[in-house]
Amino acid sequence: METPGSQTSLHRANLERVVRAVRTAGSLTQAEIARSTGLSAATVSNIVRELKESGTVEVTPTSAGGRRARSVSLSGDAGVVVGVDFGHTHLRVAVGDLAHRVLAEESEPLDVDASAADGFDRAEHLVTRLIEATGTGRDKVIGVGLGVPGPVDGEAGTLGSPSILPGWTGVNPGKELSGRLGVPVHVDNDANLGALGELVWGGGRGVRDLAYIKVASGVGAGLVMGGRIYRGPGGTAGEIGHITLDESGPVCRCGNRGCLETFAAARYVLPLLYSSHGPGITMERVVALARDGDPGCRRVVADVGRHIGSAVASLCNLLNPSRVVLGGTLADAGELVLGPIRESVARYAIPSAAAHLVVVPGALGGRAGVLGALALALSETGDSTLLGYEPPSGAKAFT
């Protein structure tokens, strides 16, 4: 029998450490694996050779610091993961391999607020179509990440606020989609997944403490602390949209007055321009016109930036992140919105917190959520699954 502390147990733990490091990063050189795991270069070399022989990893020649090196990534045959991103007006699905390569991706318009059942029907159909398009069988799917536009109760797995998605009241999104696809589904809100996507693939790479601010029909934030998403016990950490800016302000959908969302979200901002630009104007059009010099749109974008900056200043005083990544359509306004955000942060944040903060636009645009969903599925995939054995309580031992 295998006992804790035995050579077999230690070897298995080292295998998992190497697989986990490669899975998290997408690909690493052997020297980088040694640094990130704390294992010796000789141990890493032996483990990589073993994993290559078993078909778990692929090794390709590369260079690092001008020297020849070997890049290690998980094998494309080890399985695929799926990301599903529900927005209020869209559904986006992506299929990726364990080396962080996106194999297929597609989006389509969808009124998510109308019906949860219809949303899941559409998601199941799109996932099936994309898996077939990659030439991968459904049996190769080892996990799914699912993003929804609202806070998720970490214990119950249900949406934490019925006022945000009333058509989803009482629905457990992960359980519903898992029952349809037959694989584990991991759920988080769209802002957290946007943060995870930017952390792995975009404007947050190499940063361990950041806030991802998403401005769309609502306003939310994904918080990364120490390199990990911070959700809080009720899954509502990062609800920056409901910071009160004006106690006498408009009534918010949460029931309070003067929340940031009532000054920054599209549903509240667009009506300000109806009289001059017509009721059909969209946030995408506002940003485009602002970039072209339209004075009304520029004013609206700048005002939104200042309001967001006030809330970000409070975030800085509490958590002191090193980077804020602005996502959503508003990020396309560039300095027209980033400048006012920085001005408000400089005015309202503690100087030492403001001095260490960098505010940047998201690098992934509308793809941040679905790529974050892929990253969530990757991060939740058990290393034992990839190595071909189950944990001690499972039925199958490593061979």
pLDDT per residue over 316-368, tens digit each? 999 999 999 999 889 999 999 999 999 999 999 999 999 999 999 999 988 99
Helix (H, G, I), strand (E, B) or coil at 90: strand
Does domain 203-363 sit in CATH 3.30.420.40?
yes
* One-letter identity of residue 21: A
CATH 3.30.420.40 domain extents, the chain: 79-194+369-383, 203-363
Distance of CA 281 to the CA centre of its chain: 29
Q: Over the stretch 117-165, which tens digit does the pLDDT of each residue have?
A: 889 999 999 999 999 999 888 888 989 999 988 777 767 777 766 556 7
Q: How far apart are CA 105 and CA 127, in angstroms?
A: 10
The Cα–Cα gap between 51 and 289 comes to 54
For 159-227, the three-class secondary structure string (H helix, E strand, C coil) is ECCCCCCHHHCCCCHHHHHHHHHCCCEEEEEHHHHHHHHHHHHCCCCCCCCEEEEEECCCEEEEEEECC
pLDDT at residue 399, rounded to an integer: 20
For 7-74, which CATH class?
mainly alpha
Does the pLDDT of residue 4 top 70, yes or no? Answer: no
Per-residue pLDDT of 251-309, as tens digits, reads 998 899 999 999 999 999 999 999 999 999 999 999 999 999 999 999 999 999 999 99
Q: Where in the chain is the domain with CATH 1.10.10.10?
A: 7-74
Cβ contact 378:100 at 8 Å: yes
Right CATH number for 79-194+369-383 from 3.30.420.40, 1.20.120.1200, 2.60.40.10, 3.40.50.300?
3.30.420.40
Q: What backbone torsions phi and psi does residue 76 show, to the nearest 5 degrees?
A: -65, -20
